[in-house]
Structure 1
Amino acid sequence: MRILILGGTGEASALARGLAGTPGRDVTLSLAGRTASPKPEPVPTRTGGFGGPEGLARHLAREGIGLLVDATHPFAARMSRNAALAAAQAGVPILALRRPGWARQQGDDWTQVASMAEAAAALGPAPRRVFLTIGRQEVAAFAAAPQHDYVVRTIEPIGDALPVPRLTRIRARGPFDAGTEAAFLASAGIAVLVSKNSGGAATYGKVLAARRLSLPVVMVARPDKPAVPQVPDAEAALALILSGELPPRG
């Protein structure tokens, strides 16, 4: 059986590692291409888009894909919609790997918002030093609140043309543990964090660090995703696939 994993997450890589070399399965991992130097993977990879749901449906049919796994980022709403539509058009089973989101714990000071625009507004009128942990694609939304000093940490470089006047750029690749994050937040004089509710352990260190330092967090809620068969982690996805009990065709 040929399996296409839509990836870009740790769970996608973990599933690819689990499936690599298993008999009777030909696995390809598809990456969006936003990271110039992705980590090596144990299965063949492809990079770039498909041309919308129709293009992905044609790819599924042309390559004889027997299972489509949507293991994209929790905020990759468009890709998940395209995957669900393409699976339905091509009549291919689809399985979504969706990690649970974070829940507010005792000691957390969260303001929960539905969008980046709401996050910028939630920072308030008084100037603050803000740590943006949202990825480089979303930084421009904070041009609406130019009174703040922003610090953004990304894997890839950010262009100089962003309309955010006071922006400190840091390039680094995680994961970062809570101790490292707490030391950084304190040394950088951060007053508030802005984070996507990505879930998972890999980036939870910043949430733990904010709790330790009693720093407020503006937490952006996840977008809605299509209703397709889903599992919470790579282990569950691997067990289901190896059992041969595939979800219904899309």
Structure 2
Amino acid sequence: MKPASFDYLRPATVADALAALAAGGDDARVIAGGQSLMPMLNMRLVQPRLLIDLGRLEELRTLRVEDGWLSVGAAVTQAEVLARRTLAQEVPLLAAALPWVGHFQTRNRGTLCGSVAHADPSAETPLCLVATGGEVVLRNLRRRRTVAAADFFLGPLTTVKAADEIVECIRFPLARPGSGHAFREQSMRHGDFAIAACAATVDGERASLAVGGVADRPTTRSWPLVAGGLPPDLDDALNAFAWDLGGDDDQHATARYRRDLVRRIGRTVLEEALSCRR
């Protein structure tokens, strides 16, 4: 199947893109890498009258450290971030997760901001953004606002982003000395959507676990360390967390299997994060 007909605009500036988005209203959509939107267009799940391409706007091709954050602009691809030589020191959790995102070919087109805007519950980038305590910077013609990642996602493919806003950039806090991070997921094949994904962070005196692919959005839980180690009742805590996440049966896995993955992979990544504290 092919998309329904639409007008295509490649604006010269972000201001032009925002003006077109405001004028287009609900009939306009933005595209950067297109790895999420193009399949939806082809299946006619969305049928915009206007498609606004942000992918070549130099204003949005920013990838830099500023004020303790790694800022990733809307037009920066997953491959560009993964190729950053200092990424493992700056945001080690993201460096661990990005190789699980799609495949080499799709990472050359897909963007991190596009994945966050799409808000698939199984996606790795939203999970890492929530797990690290990141932020989403939204912009329209009138203002720019910053939303904590934990407050940005409302449910499957649903966020607090207004129709006239774009995700201008996302920001990950730089890893602090003494912190540890680990990521693993289970999928049908490498590069497929995660059946369950677990991102662990150990920072200060707490250990945190963020889970994607089970609930309707990335969800976190944290526990205090005990004598510098994981709590002795961790298995019970992970079991309670797995049940709280809910989960559904689908063609890929049962809810029971997903809960078991949270218990097993969750413990594994928490142990890895604790052991690799820097």
Greater strand share, structure number? 2
Please give the range of the TM-score, normalised by the shorter of the 2 chains. under 0.3
The TM-score, its normalising length taken from structure 1, stands at: 0.25
